Amino acid sequence: MKKTLITATLLTSAGLANAATIINVVNSGFEDQVLADGLTTRTADGGDGTITGWTESNTADHLAYVTNPSNTGANTANNDAETILPLEGSNAAFFQNSSISQTLSGFDIKTGDIITVEFDLWRVNGGGDTFRIDFGGIGETSGTGINDGTIGGDMVTDAGPERYSVDFIATSDITAGDLVFRSTAGGNRYLLDDVVVTYSTAAVPEPSSTALIGLAGLGFILRRRR
């Protein structure tokens, strides 16, 4: 079943798009670091606390690292639910009260283009709308570029990974932008995997649909696939 949750006023023919172009994401599946079952890259487990290709906002209480969830190996991560396996590969990115980010470039996005960020996500602790995704920095870094959004309120803790897709609408021309994933509230822990970013040019609306454009604000559509 595919569930669509509309969190902003963008549901018109302006949301239609042409063929998508892939934007390169370094270490998008978090497999670049080889870990034994149940181990992580956090320093408490003997790792270096890093995620290759990404920047982490780590402090003593704000953690982000790579984990290899395992339901067979010794679990050295923070929560038993972290033994839930990814949909693909061995590793996933873990973060608690922190963020991971990567500057993406090598594209030429124009105003009105649609940027789609897809990823697997599961929560292992906490609740509420506490997982944030931002691209281009509006309200978060540069203040221009792409609209951003928060999800997580309808997620079931410990339920395992689900595939999410978030569409952003470009509010200006950009050739680079920061992709940021963040846990925003105390104690909320998430696992993230298999990040894919694409963009496409919005299709010209049919004349019969033009009247609907006035109802369309800038925003995003969050689609959850089950």
CA 120 – CA 92 distance, rounded (Å): 9
- Is residue 193 over pLDDT 90? yes
Picking from 81, 84, 77, 88, the residue whose alpha carbon sits closest to that of residue 31 is 88
Domain count, the chain: 1
- The answer, as to whether pTM is greater than 0.75, is no
pLDDT tens digits, 123-182: 877 776 778 888 875 333 322 333 445 565 566 666 678 888 888 888 888 899 999 998
Domain span at 157? 2-225
Classified as helix, coil or strand, 141 is coil
Binned at pLDDT 50, 70 and 90, residue 13 comes out as very low
Which CATH number belongs to the domain containing residue 107 in this structure? Answer: 2.60.120.260
Q: What is the pLDDT of residue 33?
A: 83
Q: Scan for tokens 């970013």, then name that residue.
A: 197
Q: What is the pLDDT of residue 119?
A: 92
Q: What is the pLDDT of residue 29?
A: 92
The residues pairing with 167 across neighbouring beta strands, listed in sequence order, are 116, 221
CA 145 – CA 135 distance, rounded (Å): 8
Binned at pLDDT 50, 70 and 90, residue 84 comes out as low
Percent of the chain with pLDDT over 90: 17
